[in-house]
Amino acid sequence: MPKWPDDDVILFDGVCIFCSRWVRFVAQRDTAKKFRFTPIQSDYGAELARTFGIDPDDPDTNAVIHGGVAFLKSDAALTVLSHLPGWAWTRVLFAVPKPLRNTVYSLIAHNRYRIFGKYDACFVPDADLRARVIE
């Protein structure tokens, strides 16, 4: 798998309401401000997505670059959660077989707009979060 020069970057679908809530959830709990965020609709996000085989026009996963490596689907979510203060316990979920975790992840991802809705344009974060967004 290719490497990425920036670390602890979360790639997300900026028009997906669920994905945008995920970003806010992480940002509120990431007291060390370790993670940064990039919407797949940005130039930087689209380049990152293409590098790791994600179609920027039809994303089926979020991703996180951690330790220079891209984690996708359930691995991405659990990697992020397990590095948040008070959430280390989520590492035990890596014991659940990856095909099962990714089946559940893909089911939600495939139906995210229908279940949670979609913004007309990328959500605009507040000033504090905006400083952590790479576009």
- Is a pLDDT exceeding 90 seen at residue 7? yes
**Pair 41, 68: CB distance under 8 Å:** no
Percent of the chain whose predicted confidence (pLDDT) is above 70? 98
User: What pLDDT score does 119 carry?
Assistant: 87
Question: Tell me: the pLDDT tens digits for 100-116?
Answer: 999 999 999 999 989 99
Indicate the domain borders of the chain.
9-128
User: What pLDDT score does 1 carry?
Assistant: 63
Stretch 58-62: mean pLDDT, rounded?
Answer: 86
- Could you give the CA distance from residue 113 to residue 31 in angstroms, rounded to a whole number? 29
- Is a pLDDT exceeding 70 seen at residue 17? yes
Q: In what order do the strands lie in the sheet with 63-66?
A: 36-39, 9-12, 63-66, 69-72
- Is a pLDDT exceeding 70 seen at residue 38? yes
- Could you give the CA distance from residue 25 to residue 11 in angstroms, rounded to a whole number? 14
Stretch 15-33: mean pLDDT, rounded?
Answer: 94
Stretch 52-73: mean pLDDT, rounded?
Answer: 90
The residue that leads in pLDDT, 70 or 78, is 78
- Is a pLDDT exceeding 80 seen at residue 9? yes
